Amino acid sequence: MPLKANIHVSLNRLRTQKSALELAAKKQKDGLRKARTRTLIQVGGLVDLTPLLAICNIKLGDDLQLEHQDKVEIKKIKSFFIYFYKVLLTSNS
């Protein structure tokens, strides 16, 4: 086989390997994204089991970025989580 043909065969093989690696990386990234989304949904379900949303005047289905423009409710929830985080830190030490 001439040298030029060998180069083309090698080049095609490398392109195929590159495509396979890119596909594997995309699948891994998609899997991580889906896992993160699933965890966030589950945490949201746990929050829904508490009175936290009612205390902050947030209804299920509210778009927290658009509908709560004054952000008071968001600040309340964020403050709660920060406080809870600090309580957990001090109780574990």
Which sign does the torsion angle of CA 5, 6, 10, 11 carry? negative
How many domains, the chain? 2
**Domain extent at residue 63:** 50-93
Please give the mean pLDDT across all residues of the chain.
87
Confidence of residue 34 (pLDDT cuts 50, 70, 90): very high
Look at residue 93 and tell me if it is in a domain.
Answer: yes
Give, as one character, the DSSP assignment of residue 50.
S
Task: Tell whether 90 is covered by a domain.
Answer: yes
Residues 61 and 93 reside in one and the same domain: yes
Assess if residue 61 is contained within a domain: yes
Mean pLDDT for 63-91 is 83
CA distances, 19 to each of 29, 33, 37, 78 (Å):
15, 21, 27, 43
Range 36-56 average pLDDT:
91
Percent of the chain having pLDDT more than 90? 48
Residue 81 lies in a domain: yes
